[in-house]
Amino acid sequence: MAMTGPVFAEALPVPPGGQMAFQVLRNGTPIGEHHLRFTRSGDELVVDINIALLVTFAGITVFRYGATVTERWSGGVFQSLESQVNDNGTQLEVHAHKTAAGYDVVGVNHTYPAKSYPEYTAPPDSMPLTYWNKAMLNGTIINVQTAHCYPAIVNSAGWSKLPTAGTGAGNGFIVAQRFDVTGKLHLSVWYDQFAQWSGLAFHLGGDESYEKIIT
């Protein structure tokens, strides 16, 4: 899928109320939540993301994951990214910012420095792998944990009903279109008729799925 031009500020799929949240499940069992907060100032947009996941067995923690990500947009164009990730004890950072040639990207591994990634330039059509902006499927995706970038290879599997979490109206489901991302990435992501992020599924140590929290 090719980019057709810049995404303008009014077209960015900022949710009503400026917030979005998901319950995260592994093999059907809730393990945590994924929250996004959107703050506008004129044509500037800041997206703050917080993820906290915990897997236990017999009362013992076997996996813990935490991440904070800040994206900055201006005039509808992605400008920069800062992320900090605790992947079960491995401390990671990713930094990306817009340049004339594209985006300078660097990944830092504080736990195993030899695995850090040297700075490189990602293509001008790059966007972060943070899911809320459907336009990320149109170009190159920057992984906010590993600092790798990949061309998006996407196929649509049609529309389906997704279960929701929380106590809000909607009969416990959202009707959304599924997109399967392949190549270096293997995941499915869903967006509703208003291009709002509605669900996510992938396999990583178990079957991970996201249910949108409706309040």
Bridge-based pairing of strands 187-191 and 153-163 is: unpaired
Q: What is the pLDDT of residues 50-81, one digit of tens each?
A: 999 999 888 888 899 999 999 999 999 999 99
Q: What is the pLDDT of residues 91-137, one digit of tens each?
A: 999 999 999 999 999 999 999 998 888 899 999 999 999 999 999 99
Q: What is the pLDDT of residues 136-193, one digit of tens each?
A: 999 999 999 999 999 999 999 899 999 999 766 556 999 999 999 999 999 999 999 9
Domain ranges of the chain: 9-152
* pLDDT score recorded for residue 59: 83
Average the pLDDT over 4-23 and give the result: 76
